[in-house]
Structure 1
């Protein structure tokens, strides 16, 4: 999920449960612009960091523990990373989203679009 600074959904991608988070991050960031990209440690990768730098944005991503040279990040900006969690919280107010009643991906995707539109209209 890609969310703006107010916690409203911009883009999302539904992936299988076993897929890593960083695998779909580059496609979500394609064509976007901003001053900073905030993400957690799961998104710490050199390819993603270079894509963020090519956007002209600052990568505010803490380094993984196994990174040989830790890359510093701005902790005051990183505190606002909870906006994407708030976005998921708003989406979970819709029972159909929270329980995932729809088993076909096309139906679930359609409802996520509807729920995102309703969040934007509030």
Structure 2
């Protein structure tokens, strides 16, 4: 969503597919430079975090419980 609460992109997935798979594909197609990516802990995947960092964006995604190093997230 942008600053005016407009969706930047929307895709429906099957109930059995995990959101993070489609989320990664969506992030690949977007220019995230200087943006903040906000998501729930289900998107705390290494490939997603690396994609966000590579595009010089800020990730506001809580760490999943299995992470040895938990990121601080407000």
TM-score by length of 2: 0.84
1:52 Cα deviation (Å)?
Answer: 0.3
Structure exhibiting the larger radius of gyration computed from Cα positions: 1
- Structure with bigger helix share is 1
**14, 18, 21: which is aligned to 2:19?**
21
1:50 Cα deviation (Å)?
Answer: 0.4
Alignment deviations for residues 12-34 of structure 1 (CA, whole Å, 9 cap, x no partner): 11210111110111221223224
TM-score by length of 1: 0.54
Question: How many pairs are equivalent?
Answer: 72
Q: Over aligned residue pairs, what C-alpha RMSD do you find?
A: 1.3
Gaps spanning 5+ residues in structure 2: where? none
Q: Which residue pairs with 2:57 in the alignment?
A: 57
